[in-house]
Amino acid sequence: MLNKIEFYKNDIDNPYAVNGFNGTWSISKHNLIPDVLLGFLQRHFGQFRIRRIPITDINAVLNELWEGPGSLEKIFLLEDEMRLQGKEIKFTATDLKEFKSVVDDEEDEDDLDN
């Protein structure tokens, strides 16, 4: 995880990067949530499917925790802490089936590369 934190520290001075963001979160659609925040949000809300979480709740938690540039480290540490505490993410049978399908597709692509 420390490598992940170090990697994103390079973006603190870039206002167009997530870790350089200095403002209030007002995400309007689930598909606009930066990928780097998805794992934290899934664990925080205990929900695999981000679309099941109201966008207003997502913005609220991000705004509560975000302190400006460099806040991504805090998010990563909170995510890791939740993981270590055993905070689970709920998966439905459909989620697992779709996940397995994606993994199987990736394995098939790997076989074609060889």
Q: 3-state class of 7 per DSSP?
A: helix
Question: Quick check: 66 and 25 in contact, CB under 8 A?
Answer: yes
Instruction: Give the model confidence (pLDDT) of 86-109 as tens digits.
Output: 877 777 676 666 656 555 555 555
Question: Quick check: 39 and 48 in contact, CB under 8 A?
Answer: no
Domain boundaries, the chain: 2-113
Instruction: Give the model confidence (pLDDT) of 50-59 as tens digits.
Output: 999 999 999 9
Give the whole-angstrom CA distance, residue 19 versus residue 15. 8
For the chain, helix, strand, coil in percent to 5 are: 65, 0, 35
Strand partners, 90: 47
